Each structure stands twice: as structure tokens, then as C-alpha cells.
Structure 1
Amino acid sequence: MATVYSVLPFDLHGQCFALPAQQVVRVLPALLTLPLPAAPRAVAGLCNVHGRLLPVLDIRAHFGWPAAEPRRWDHWIWARTGRRELLLPVSRCHPVCELEADFYPVDELHIPGRLLQGVLRSEAGVLLLKDLETFLTAAEDAALGEAMADHVVV
């Protein structure tokens, strides 16, 4: 039975993804990333957004896809998890929508790893629902916290 989901659909590496709308703070234009030494591999660096340093998470690296050159018209998703706010560079965002869809959890689809929460299937097509809460392991999250603490000037 289909349920209504409020999501922010986005494109990356030729794939259609979505985030739950309640995790999205806003969509921004592409920003300048500052390097963050000692950060986990899936962290591309830091950005200053309205006076706040936010980590930039690289979904491409997380999936093992090749890096892409930043483009002027790329979108960045400013998102919120239970632990922190962060930025996700993506190719393109679509408007937030209410989507009547069937949800298929990852464990039912036999997809390995912790990359996705599941799949939403609707009349409009299929969206891969990204799970930001598990994007970084506990060890990676701790390493990110330490790397950020080393580079914050008080």
C-alpha cells in the first residue's frame, strides 16, 4: 500500500536519489570547499555558510564513484542529521514534493552496506532514498569531529 512521503529529489552520477524533506535545511548554489586534513575519505572538506563551518560529504566517494569536476550550476544540499548539519554536493535538485510511493527497505532488496535506507517506487519512477544518519560510521564521525576541532579558530 502506497504512503505519502515528503522528499527532496536530486540527481547525482546519473542516478535519482531523495532525502526526506525534514532533513533538508535548504538548497544552495555550489560553494568553495576548504580542505580538511585528517578527515575521513568521504569528507571533501569544509564550507563557511553564514558564519558556520559545515562539513562537505562526498556521496560519490561514499559509493566509490569517480570524482567529478565542480560545476558552477551544481546544487548543494544543506542537510541536518541527528548529530550535525552538513553539505552534500549534487548535480541537480528538484523541488520538494509529496510523493505517493511504495517503500522497499534495503534489507528486503538485498543491497549490501549502509549506503541507502531503501527505494521509493511511484508512478513517477524509482528514487533511491539516502540514509544520512548512517553516511559516516561512528569512527568516521569521531574522526570528522576531531579534524573539525583541530581547525576551528576560537
Structure 2
Amino acid sequence: MNPLPEARPQEVLLFTLERQRYGLPVEDVRELVRAARLTHLPQAPDVVEGLLNLRGELLPVLDLRRRFRHPARPLSPMDHFIVARAGPRPVALRVDRAEGLHVIAAHEWDSSPRELPGVGFVAGVAKLPDGLVLVHDLRSFLSEAEALQLDTALGDRPGPA
């Protein structure tokens, strides 16, 4: 399923990580919050940076730096968390900066990169006047093994199949 239909314009949230821009379909985004202290989550997969307590809701924070092969760096008060949905799971993504919403016109959208090996969590590319932006599909961001490992670390029990 293509999260950004090519037939009509679609809004994405643009964000930066290590001076590179990325995007998420706005339907997957719940809110933006300033970075806050994280709690280590034992037994979580490597892609989980920690656990965020957001107004009583415990959210795993996905480590985009690790996933996108950027160098690690300590959490900064200037960082943002994007609270979003990775499939059925609410998560937070630590980014350097959320830039805001952008409407991608049908002629600016290319879905062919998702067919390339190694880009399983990329829904496509927005061809904007000032450069290309990879738009990510959070539904495929966690592998099945990572999702199961995260369920275990959070103490979740899978429901009946």
C-alpha cells in the first residue's frame, strides 16, 4: 500500500537529521514535542534509543541516527520528538529539527525508490525545488523481529493470531 497516493497532493512533515531532510506522511504524525530525558529500556532492539514518558504515556523512541547510519550524538534540549504511529504502535522519533508541513504535488512524487533493495522503510521521494526528500513509511520501519523484541521489552503480550 502506498501511503502517498500519486493521484492527489499529500501533506508531509519535513524534518532534518544531520543536515539532511526527510519526511513523514502527516497521517502518521500525532504531535511534535521538545526533547526530554529518556529512560533506558533493557532488552529493547538496538533501534530503540529509550523510553519517553509523555504525559503518562510510555513511548519507545526510535533511533533514526542508527537506522540511517548517521553518527550517534547525545540528546540535546534543541532536539524535537515526532510522536507518530509505526503501524499499530505509537512511537517517538528524535530529530534535529522539525521544519513543518509541505504539500507534495503529484508531479513532485516518485514512488520507485521503495522498490530498491535496502530502502524497505522508504515510501518514496519528494522532488522539491530545493532538493530530494526521502519520505518514510513507519509501518515498515521496525522489522518483525524488532517489533517482537520491543513487545517483550515493553512487557506486551501478543494477542491471538
Instruction: Tell me if structure 1 keeps the 8 A contact 2:109–2:124.
Output: no
Question: Counterpart in 1 of 2:94?
Answer: 89
Change (3 A) 1:145 1:125: same
Q: For residues 41 and 81 of structure 1, what CA distance do their matches in structure 2 show?
A: 16
Q: Answer yes or no: is the 8 Å Cα contact 2:29–2:84 preserved in 1.
A: yes
1:103 — aligned with what? 110
Cα distance in 1 for residues equivalent to 2:75 and 2:44: 20
1:97 to partner: Cα distance: 2.3
Match of 2:139 in 1: 133
Distance 2:81 2:26 in 1: 14
> Which residue pairs with 1:36 in the alignment?
41
Q: Structure 1 CA distance, aligned partners of 2:27 and 2:33?
A: 16
Scaled by the length of structure 1, the TM-score of the pair is: 0.88
Q: Structure 1: 5+ residue runs without aligned partners?
A: none
Could you list the per-position Cα deviations for residues 52-71 of structure 1 after superposition, in whole angstroms to 9, with x for gaps in the alignment? 10000001111232211221
Query: Which stretches of structure 1, 4 residues or more, deviate above 4 A after TM superposition?
Result: none
2:112 counterpart of 1:119: no
Gapped regions of structure 2 (runs ≥ 5): 1-5, 157-161
Contact 1:43 1:56 in 2 (8 A): yes
Deviations 1:28-60 (A, max 9, x none): 001111000110000011111111100000011
In structure 2, the CA distance between the partners of 1:47 and 1:128, relative to structure 1 (3 Å rule), is same
How far apart, in 2, do the equivalents of 1:5 and 1:105 lie?
A: 17
Normalised by the length of structure 2, the TM-score is 0.84
Note the C-alpha offset of 1:147.
0.2
* Count of aligned positions: 149
Aligned to 2:3: none
